[in-house]
């Protein structure tokens, strides 16, 4: 538990990704723990086995995000995260239709699982690259937020559904996705103010890291940039610097 607290307080990249993960899996838990509630009632009255078949749609979405790891390795983890969180938010427009259309619900399930898996893989890629010497400790601490988010989403969705129905529960799931997107956006704006624009251009990768124009890290430019902006004793904890 000490590692979780230490990383959260001292490592900005970990803190940001932990918060994103917390709300990401709260949104995930809102769907997968709450979906059975409207499907078991009128007009569907599906059995437990029938509801379980929606897991196939979720698997399709998760498999569709396999490329996220490759994109992250190419320095595109931040853009993958932003785009996927938008998809996650939009998926709730379809998930909210669970009481009216099973087809639209399937679309929402596929989109949600795709987005969650893409962000999950990108986050792990970034935090491990930032702390390669303690990858096990970092991932273990990260998974605490995964568990907390999933539990919070499940409990809160059940409570909201009992009080106000699936429409309100869907708004809650979308709200979790929106907060995750806000956390990502604020972090990118802070990074932009620190290192310049995060948009990739010649000599700069997706993380704002200087390269030699062919995707390889320009160590001299990075060191000079750190010293110029932060002083020689500073450390950029939120930037992934890796050789291509």
The 10s digit of each residue's pLDDT in 215-230 is 444 444 343 343 333 3
Mean per-residue pLDDT of the chain: 84
170 pLDDT higher than 60? yes
The 10s digit of each residue's pLDDT in 76-105 is: 999 999 999 999 999 999 999 999 999 999
Percent of the chain as helix, strand, coil, to the nearest 5: 75, 0, 20
Residues 6+ apart with CB under 8 A from 81: 20, 118, 119, 122, 123, 184
- For residue 210, the cross-strand partners are 204
CATH 1.10.260.40 fits 2-194, yes or no: no
Based on the number of CB atoms within 10 Å of its own CB, is 83 exposed (0-12), middle (13-18) or buried (19 or more)?
Answer: middle
List the structure tokens of 200: 């990739």
């Amino acid at each position: 538990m000490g590692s979780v607290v230490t990383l959260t307080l001292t490592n900005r990249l970990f803190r940001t990704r932990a918060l994103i993960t917390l709300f990401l899996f709260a949104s995930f838990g809102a769907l997968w723990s709450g979906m059975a509630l409207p499907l078991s009632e009128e007009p569907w009255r599906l059995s437990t086995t029938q509801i379980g078949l929606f897991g196939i749609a979720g698997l399709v979405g998760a498999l569709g995000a396999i490329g996220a790891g490759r994109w992250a390795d190419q320095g595109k983890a931040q853009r993958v995260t932003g785009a996927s969180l938008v998809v996650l938010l939009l998926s709730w427009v379809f998930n909210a239709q669970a009481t009216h259309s099973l087809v639209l619900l399937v679309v929402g399930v596929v989109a949600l699982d795709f987005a969650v898996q893409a962000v999950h893989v990108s986050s792990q890629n970034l935090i491990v690259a930032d702390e390669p010497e303690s990858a096990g400790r970092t991932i273990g601490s990260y998974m605490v937020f995964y568990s907390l988010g999933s539990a919070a989403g499940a409990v809160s969705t059940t409570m909201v559904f009992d009080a106000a129905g699936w429409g309100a529960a869907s708004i809650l799931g979308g709200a979790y996705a929106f907060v995750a997107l806000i956390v990502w956006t604020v972090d990118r704006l802070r990074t932009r103010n620190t290192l310049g624009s995060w948009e990739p251009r010649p000599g700069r990768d997706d993380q704002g890291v200087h390269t030699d124009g062919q995707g390889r890290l320009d160590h001299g430019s990075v060191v000079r940039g750190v010293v110029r902006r932060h002083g020689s004793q500073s450390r950029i904890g939120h930037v992934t610097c890796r050789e291509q």
